[in-house]
Amino acid sequence: MCFLHHQCFVSKVLIQMPWSRCNGECSPGFRKTSIGGNHLCCYNCDPCSEGEISSRPDSDTCHPCPEDQWPDEMKVRCIPKTYEFLSYEEDSLVYIFLALTLFFSVVTLLILISFIYYWDTPIVRANNRTVSFILLVSILLSFLCVFFFLGRPVDITCFLRQVSFGILFTIGVSCILAKTITVYVAFKATKPGSSWNRLVSLKVSNSVVLVGSSIQVLICVMWLLLSTPYVEYNHHTYPGKIIIQCNEGSDICFYSMLGYMGLLAAVSFVLAFMVRTLPDSFNEAKYITFSMLLFCSVWIAMIPAYLSTRGKYMVAVEVFAILTSCAGVLGCMFFPKLYILLLKPELNSRNIILEKTKL
């Protein structure tokens, strides 16, 4: 009996004995850090660093999560990171781009059908109708290439999207440059004894489109051969997110493609501005001036916005620039003609055009 009483007394003393520490235990999600001095029992409880967890109390260290996971709010366990891209399921911005793309594509297709219906009228024939049709088709395909930028990136869309956009836009800008040159050559050829007369019979505009587009095709082919774009999983830009994006492969090739397209647009703008006051019978230059001014403004503004954003918003900036610039060119180049074709058919005659020339 005494032995049992003695054992109970010892147990009571042990239970009531104070802990040999200066503070309470650290909770999960924290780690112990020494506060210095000789008292090892005294320490601070610091939260785990970003990307690390501790799942048990009084942990000496925190452990990093795997690359595809991230700590929960309490930093006690790792949870899968979320994926970020322009998703059809989650981003309302995708539906806005989708609606705009389909709308402008239908408008472009209707303009193309109208121009085919009025194929032999003076308004359509003026200033090289073949180049006008090539321009309309390139604008239509430029709108449709937006689909390569929407949804989850895969290797084939990364491979096609910048190249298709660059080539189609260059064909369109080359057509506008060809139209501008046609205006200038046609005006110069009206002067008696002008040496420009021989250029009128030549397919100068067709050559401009072919040469201008071929250079861009060569740049894009070299790009694909030297450094093919591919899908990239970016784990480091945003905490807790994996950005699924297209790595363009070579920044030099990407900006060379944009730079060449910008050079053609700048030349078209300057030349169109110079000949914008020529007679109306030949002149599309004033419409070209406005379209190229809008085109250059959009892409100049796009570059700093593109470089300052990341993830899906970088893609959204480029899609917005594509839609805006294509819509601007479509409106400036074809709406005035469409207005005459559909609403003012009396102006669509050779006599009216000749009267304007005399003025």
Q: What is the CATH number of the domain that holds 299?
A: 1.20.1070.10
> Given a cut of 50, is residue 287 above it in pLDDT?
yes
**Nearest-angstrom CA–CA distance, 235 and 48:** 19
**Nearest-angstrom CA–CA distance, 158 and 248:** 8
In a domain, 318, yes or no: yes
> Given a cut of 80, is residue 25 above it in pLDDT?
no
User: What percentage of residues in the chain have a pLDDT greater than 90?
Assistant: 25
- The residue behind tokens 């937006």 is 146
Which residues touch 36 (CB under 8 Å, ≥6 apart)? none
Q: Are the C-beta atoms of 172 and 138 separated by less than 8 Å?
A: yes
Q: What is the DSSP string of 263-282?
A: HHHHHHHHHHHHTTTS-TTT
> Given a cut of 70, is residue 19 above it in pLDDT?
no
Give the confidence band of 16 by pLDDT, cuts at 50, 70, 90.
very low
In a domain, 297, yes or no: yes
> Given a cut of 90, is residue 338 above it in pLDDT?
no
Average pLDDT (1-12) is 45
Phi/psi-derived region of residue 128, left when phi > 0, alpha when psi is between -120 and 50, beta in every other case: left
Give the confidence band of 359 by pLDDT, cuts at 50, 70, 90.
very low
Q: Which of 325, 284, 47 is nearest to 173 (CA)?
A: 325
Question: In Å, what is the CA distance from 32 to each residue of 1, 27, 64, 123, 188?
Answer: 45, 10, 16, 82, 85
In a domain, 199, yes or no: yes
Helix 92-117 to helix 129-144 angle (10° resolution) is 160
Range of the domain at 352: 92-232+250-358
In a domain, 166, yes or no: yes
Q: Which of 74, 161, 62, 144 is nearest to 105 (CA)?
A: 144
Give 65-102 pLDDT, tens digit per residue: 888 888 988 888 888 888 888 888 888 899 999 999 99
Helices (H), the chain: 2-16, 92-117, 122-125, 129-144, 155-189, 197-201, 204-226, 251-274, 285-308, 312-343, 350-358
Give the confidence band of 283 by pLDDT, cuts at 50, 70, 90.
low
In a domain, 80, yes or no: no
Dihedral angle of Cα 19, 23, 28, 33, to the nearest 10 degrees: -110
Q: Which of 115, 216, 146 is nearest to 174 (CA)?
A: 216
**Considering its fold, how many domains does the chain have in total?**
1
In a domain, 9, yes or no: no
Tokens of 320: 């917005």
How many other C-beta atoms are found inside a 10 Å radius of the C-beta of residue 117? 10
In a domain, 154, yes or no: yes
In a domain, 70, yes or no: no
Please give the model's pTM, rounded to 2 decimal places.
Answer: 0.81
